[in-house]
Chain A
Amino acid sequence: QVQLQESGPGLVKPSETLSLTCTVSGGSVSSGSYYWSWIRQPPGKGLEWIGFIYYSGSTNYKPSLKSRVTISVDTSKNQFSLKLSSVTAADTAMYYCARASGWVDSWGQGTLVTVSS
């Protein structure tokens, strides 16, 4: 059974870049059957799909975030990563990495990122 684990700083200053990594175990990011995703959830609010990456490196980002988001994959480490630039308080959220094939079938436990000076 695949497991995903997010890692990265829990506190980021406004205007800086949020960087998170997801380590995948029990499965391979090189699998062509899935796309590896980042989804966030502001405190007390709903779910927002930030974007995803295929093993080939092709990506798809939410249009409203596209100018600030980069998702990359490292097949040698079985990891994929998220970078979100120029963050503001509105980017404060629980960030989940996930595996999807349409629906999301596996989620990491999530990591809370707070944007504050």
Chain B
Amino acid sequence: DIVMTQSPDSLAVSLGERATINCKSSQSIFYSSNNKNYLAWFQQKPGQPPKLLIYWASTRESGVPDRFSGSGSGTDFTLTISSLQAEDVAVYYCQQYYTTLGTFGQGTKLEIK
């Protein structure tokens, strides 16, 4: 199994400031034949299912605000929220889909400072 490890486990950021969440895979999830990284990011608010934010490591899902961005390649990836809003309080998960049955990171809890 590819193990996904997120850091930090929790994060407190002031409104309007930048929030950065990291995700590291235990092996490369970059497929050279199509030049793509097989990584997605999700946001989960209490009592709700996860919501897709980003796929292919940096492609924003339709309707997702542009303050959310994804970057990275190979084994190291980052989700950045450029200017934190109150509605961004949630747990964020990365997921690799390089293997057919994908695996998720343990989650990062984002709060307001």
Using CB atoms, name the residue of chain A closest to B105: A46
Q: Are A110 and B101 in contact (CB under 8 A)?
A: no
A95-113: contact bitstring with B at CB < 8 Å (1 yes, 0 no)? 0100010111101111000
Q: Does B97 contact A (CB under 8 A)?
A: yes
Q: Which of A15-23, A24-32, A47-55, A80-88 contacts B (4 or more CB under 8 A)?
A: A47-55
Given contacts A47-B93, A47-B104, A103-B55, contact A109 B49 (CB under 8 A): yes
Q: Are B101 and A107 in contact (CB under 8 A)?
A: no
Q: Are B52 and A105 in contact (CB under 8 A)?
A: yes
Q: Count of chain A residues with Cβ under 8 Å from any Cβ of B?
A: 19
- Enumerate chain A residues within 8 angstroms of B28, measured Cβ to Cβ: none
Chain B contacts with A in 98-113, Cβ cutoff 8 A = 100-107
Using CB atoms, name the residue of chain B closest to A49: B101
Q: Chain B interface residue count: which class?
A: 20 to 34
Q: Does A60 contact B (CB under 8 A)?
A: yes
Q: Nearest chain B CB to A22's CB is how many angstroms away?
A: 12
Q: Are B101 and A62 in contact (CB under 8 A)?
A: yes
Q: Are B95 and A60 in contact (CB under 8 A)?
A: no
Q: Are B103 and A108 in contact (CB under 8 A)?
A: no
A49, A52, A103: the one contacting B103 at CB < 8 Å is A49
- Enumerate chain B residues within 8 angstroms of A109, measured Cβ to Cβ: 48-49
Task: State in angstroms the CA–CA spacing of A47 and B106 once bound together.
Answer: 8
Task: State in angstroms the CA–CA spacing of A107 and B103 once bound together.
Answer: 16
Q: Nearest chain B CB to A54's CB is how many angstroms away?
A: 11
Q: Does B38 contact A (CB under 8 A)?
A: yes
A36-62: contact bitstring with B at CB < 8 Å (1 yes, 0 no)? 000000000011110110000000111
B40, B48, B101, B106: the one contacting A103 at CB < 8 Å is B40
- Enumerate chain A residues within 8 angstroms of B105, measured Cβ to Cβ: 46
Q: What are the 10 tightest A-B residue pairs by CB atom distance, in nearest-first order?
A: A107-B49, A103-B40, A102-B97, A47-B104, A103-B55, A46-B106, A46-B107, A49-B101, A103-B97, A110-B49
B residues contacting A by CB (< 8 A) are 38, 40, 42, 48-52, 55, 61, 93, 95, 97, 100-107
Apart from the given pairs A48-B104, A105-B52, 6 other A-B contacts in the complex at a CB distance below 8 Å: A47-B104, A51-B101, A103-B55, A105-B55, A105-B61, A110-B49
